[in-house]
Structure 1
Amino acid sequence: MTATGRRWMTAFGLMLMTAACGSSDTPDIYSTEESPAPIKRRPTPVTEFTPVELEATVDDLVAELNERPNEPMHAEILLKIVSGFFAPVATAANRAMGELRMTGNVAGRLEEPGDQEKAVELQNDQIEQTLAGGVEAIGIAPFGEGNASGIDAAVARGVHVVTLDADVESSKRSIYVGTLNKAAGTTAGKTLLQMLPPGPGTVIILGNANPVWVSGLERTQGAEDVFKEAGYETLVVQETLTAMGDEEDAATMKAKIETTDPPVVGMIGMFNEAYRCAMAAEAAGREDIPIVAFDFDPKTVSYMREGLIRATHTQRQYYEGYLVPYILYGIKNIGLDATKKILAPLMDDEFRVNTGLDVVTAKTIDAYNDHLDALGVNQ
């Protein structure tokens, strides 16, 4: 193991590496046939939450790829973690890599890092490590703008990079895939705004004010702008990214509920730990405060069933993970411009693929769970 590898493993602990197709017990179809077998996608069950346009766009990409012989590919998908929020991403990325007969791994640590800046540095080390291993393409869920140097180093070596979940706009990445955070924050803000009593009042936002985490900042600001424009005061509580975050954030927000003037009339959590807002309201004896959330953490769902959280906004993590290998494969075999042309129905601009957002209420929890079960994932 290289010094870089030792540093990475020491700092981040155990890495879960899930191998895609291409192991020794997989037939080498490329060496025994004139052209590879056509790509065949795993059938996707249709539910009320199925993104029809997204599915059709992937089918169009597959159809174009199947019009010509395609070269095999080795890629690495580097995630922040492979558990919790990112578990569906890892599952879907592996599934897509298998359908494409790509070799490579989906890699990530098992727990969130506590130090954002250190996480950026260590992820750049991991990019360097994959480049030394001869990777042809990289999909990465970056920790922040500090990952631009690592991404640009890969691009300088002729390796296309696609970001997912969080973008690094200052880098030379080819495409971003995921939620458009400012728009997502605005959508969530509007959901809560409909539930608020007339002002004056304060809205607590459990979000991010740290400029190192750009995507988190954008989402938080998107919601904050909605409330300010409607005449409400806003109070951003910085989410704690440690194992003790539940208790720390709940205690901080409880104190704010009890002392803030004008009084707190609503709460919104911008990330997976949004359920901490409900913990705080419950502890303060203010179960009347309307709360909306992000993502589909089991604790969030539990509070939704109890009526403390009224709605949540779910990202399509499965589709983030599923799209990235297909995009990387398309870039190699039909070119970046041709791939973007096919992806155009999903693209907000020249570089960003919008996977969309689902709004789940207490009445649709079970239907959404059925949708996830149909995909073979949990969120």
Structure 2
Amino acid sequence: MEKKRVIFVDEDAVSLRSLRRMLIQMPEQWEFGFAESSESALDILQKETYDVIVADIRMPKMDGVQLLSQIKENYPGMVRMILSGHSNRELIIQSTGPCHQFLSKPTSSEKLISTIHKAVALRDLLEDTTLQNAIAQLEGIPSIPQIYLDLNAEIKSANASLKKIGQIVSRDIGMSAKILQLVNSAFFGLPRHIASVEQAVRLLGMEIISALVLSTKIFSLFQSPKTGNFSLEWLTNHNFLVANYAKNIANAHGCDSTLCEQSFLSGLLHDIGKLIFYTIHQQKYDEILATITTSNMHIFELEEQSFGSSHASIGAYLLGLWGLPDTVVEALAFHHKPALSMDIEFTPLTAVHIANVFYYELNANSGSGKIPSLDRHYLDTLGISEQITAWREKCQITTGAEAEQAS
């Protein structure tokens, strides 16, 4: 088995010695390097290859944010993490671009290695190194311009409301993912993963949200092509309706509020991989979309044929790198092929798999091409096949309510 290599960067020699002691009992498949400055780390990386870099945020000459920005450009495939005891909010906000995940000092060896291991294991979702690198370089996901303008206007309003801001952010796939990446970082020390975008906005507060929107470049605007087959507006509406279906299904199954929230979030983000594909391979992805009507193939099959991976895999890869909840990452990765998850109980994946199929069954404007179908064997394994009809009817009511609001 090929060793996984991690380099730690910290100006504090005591912290590095502590890390050495902490990691000495790690299995042989792990190999660690240590550097006492950003400059030293860059020198090492010119000679040696590493999978992960973990840097302190406060360092002289070149701080952790500047270091990770250079790493992103020169070694795009590396997983980039911050491990720091500093709580400078401005630096933390700046780090949300080049940094995949933030860990706080002190941390246990179990937490540290678990986080690193999960990030490295995500590579199993993607075989193509070029695709891995392109995705790992992304600092954010493009947003619908009108939603960004609405958010900007609300923040600058004299009566700005966190509730309204949360509702606006919830309408956008990219903003939602980035806000949840930040709120679930160890910097905030929350006892559990947050899956509600509106709750995340309340926890971050007006100051941080304003800084994110007005002072950083992580919320880029989607440039709508004059011609082509990709529509971010359609994708956003599709995801939002699937999210509502998934939450309704989880609620009807008697799931607790946490699982219902995770089901909604998973639905909201389940097709984010399509936007990622379009962002990094616009022309090629548009060509794929143009062939859907005549190919008699599912969109994920066409993607796998062209890229070696599907939107499900690359969406899960990026959000896994960003440290979103495992249940959400799993729902993205397997929403077309739920049996691959090996789950034997109802999870957000279950809700999203069913909700996505319902969308295509219940909506006239559901796009073209071969529509997805339910994995009956998976549903039988979970013992929920008999509930499908009732859940479909419940979602049909939601569809009618959405149509009335739009008219």
Larger relative contact order (Cα-Cα within 8 Å, sequence gap ≥ 6): 1
**TM-score normalised to structure 1 length:** 0.27
**TM-score normalised to structure 2 length:** 0.25
Q: Between Structure 1 and Structure 2, which shows a larger proportion of helix residues?
A: 2
